[in-house]
Amino acid sequence: MTATHSRLLAFGSAFPERVLTNHDLAQRIDTSDAWIRERTGIEQRRQLADGENNSDIAVAAAQAALARAGIDATDIDLVLACTNTPDRWLPSLGAAVQARLGLRAGVPAYDIVTACAGWLAGLQTADALVRTGHHRHVLVIGSEALTRFVDWSDRNTCVLFGDGAGATIVAPAQADDGGVLIDVRLHSDGRYGDIMTLPAGGTAMPTTPEAATRRLNCIHMDGREVYAHAVRAMVEVSQEVLTRNGLTLGDVDWFVPHQANLRIIQAVARRLGMPADRVATNVHKYGNTSTATIPTCLQEYEADGRIRRGQLVLMTAFGGGLTWASGLMRW
């Protein structure tokens, strides 16, 4: 049976307990709390402890979403794990989550790798599969262990990233349901892949002692290029998804951008003409958690009552690839 729309039943978030403040980083590298705040707006981030893995927080976020949705894990018939930092390259993070949640045998589970736009790409996939009747309860997780892939000697990148996970369940929408997903637009441009990359670890450059010594198994980024592309792309795709659905920025109650850093967030909002009091942020507390930033921000703003039933939410993200996306939902 097909559905006209899908809806997001509930959200769940999970973060490691370990807090890594700017003052902590200043003990490791040539930086300061003031320097980091001025350039990024970040005050602290979370870091997985030794022995903790991405799958641990992914499962915790999924369990929280299931509990809030009031459904059992056995109701899930597809797992989409949106991540750039799986526990292992094989098997997938999705498969690990499927096993640990105790889902029914045979339930498909796989990863979506589209950098920081991954969770929106997961929503687009889940929406299509639910509306065409292939699946009824799709678990979409954005989960990252980014602190395992940062160069702690590079103050321009190591200050940005944190670990965290956000999850939601996508299901068919009934009449008058809340949480309806209206649309998602997704784009890529591989010509600029080198401005944000993790060079080693794949078949082109396997991880070797030499690669590790040269920090090629860490995230490398051209900050100025990323800023320019990110601001332009997020503005354009946000306008695209609104125009496509006959809406304007004046209709938007909340703008929830990928929490890359505060400078990018503010630049995108300013160019869109979005008032600061309608821009959702939590980057100061968690840093850039890539695929997890939007779902964890949505969960936080819903939990404290800032996002309410009936409000129109505009989401947008940008990441390596290059890949960028925007989505609309009616809360």
- pLDDT tens column, 311-322: 999 999 999 999
Q: How confident is the model at residue 217 (pLDDT cuts 50, 70, 90)?
A: confident
Residue 175 pLDDT > 80, yes or no? no
**What is the distance in angstroms between the CA of the first residue and the CA of the last residue of the chain?**
24
Residue-level pLDDT at 61: 99
pLDDT at residue 178, rounded to an integer: 86
Q: What is the pLDDT of residues 224-279, one digit of tens each?
A: 999 999 999 999 999 999 999 999 999 999 999 999 999 999 999 999 999 999 99
Which pLDDT belongs to residue 177? 82
The rounded distance, in Å, linking the Cα atoms of 181 and 53 is 31
pLDDT confidence bin for 1, thresholds 50/70/90:
low
Type and span of the H or E element at 145 = strand 138-145
Mean pLDDT of 129-149: 98
Cα(18)–Cα(242) distance, integer angstroms: 39
Q: Please state the φ and ψ torsions of residue 240, each to the nearest 5 degrees.
A: -60, -50
Contact 163, 147 (CB under 8 A): yes
Mean of the pLDDT values across residues 288-307?
98
**Residue 324 predicted with pLDDT over 80:** yes
Enumerate the active-site residues. Answer: 116, 258, 288
Domains in the chain, please, with CATH?
6-176 (3.40.47.10), 181-330 (3.40.47.10)
> Per-residue b/e over 238-257, b at no fewer than 16 CB within 10 Å?
bbebbeeeebeeeebebbbb
Q: What is the reported pTM?
A: 0.96
